[in-house]
Amino acid sequence: MPVLEIKKYPEPVLKQKALFVENIDGALQELIDDMIDTMYDAPGIGLAAPQVGESRRVIVVHVKLKEEAHPLIVLINPEIIQVDDKVVSEEGCLSVPGYVSNIERAGIVLVKGLDREGRPVEIEAEGLPARALQHEIDHLDGILFVDRMSPIKREFFRKRYLRKLKETA
């Protein structure tokens, strides 16, 4: 499977709300396989379809921690249906390379969606898996982790990041 190009901030597809998936067909299965390969190649722990230029509500997440192994998660049309606890932790993004910031998110989430075969699933996650699910679902709504920063930090980031992009162009 080919490794896809990861779109970088400020590409417009990253700020758009992704389209609801109506049909789970061979083309979608191929996209999911390509997203998984791209996530591992990056390397990352999650990837949303808009990050590879596809405006579809599809995410893949695979958190590997030394102390515990989490299964690969593929979700189509995911929704967060319950949150609990608040945790501030460092976060980064494959679409905003080289930048991290402390972001507040729920420490525990309950997410529903469809698996890659179209079967309804619910996933309860906490810690890093919960953070990754929230981060990737945000991408489906055109929200980047930098949008969750305070206005002052966000403006500082934008100026610094865009200046860096101009210098490397």
CATH number at residue 35: 3.90.45.10
User: Which of the 8 DSSP states describes residue 71?
Assistant: -
Neighbour-count burial of 59, counting CB atoms closer than 10 A to its CB (0-12 exposed, 13-18 middle, 19+ buried): buried
Count the domains in the chain. Answer: 1
**Residue 3, domain member (yes or no):** no
**Which of the four pLDDT bands, split at 50, 70 and 90, describes residue 66?**
low
Which positions ≥6 away from 94 have C-beta within 8 Å? 6, 39, 42, 44, 47, 51
pLDDT band at 48 (very low <50, low <70, confident <90, very high): very high
Strand-by-strand arrangement of the 73-93 sheet: 46-48, 58-61, 73-93, 96-114, 120-126
Active site positions, annotated: 136
Q: For 111-158, what is each residue's pLDDT tens digit?
A: 999 999 999 999 999 999 999 999 999 999 999 999 999 999 999 998
Distance CA 31, CA 133 (A): 19
Question: Is residue 41, in this structure, part of any structural domain at all?
Answer: yes
Residue 1: strand, helix, or coil: coil
Q: Is residue 4 part of a domain?
A: no
Q: What is d(CA 127, CA 152) in angstroms, rounded to the nearest whole number?
A: 27
Domain-located, residue 5: no
Q: Is residue 122 part of a domain?
A: yes
Residue 164: what pLDDT? Answer: 85
Q: Name the average pLDDT for the chain.
A: 94
Residue 117 token pair = 């075969």
Tell whether 128 is covered by a domain. Answer: yes
**What is the value of pTM for the model shown?**
0.94
94: containing domain: 12-168
Tell me, what's the pLDDT at 152? Answer: 92
Q: Name the more confident of 161 and 139.
A: 139
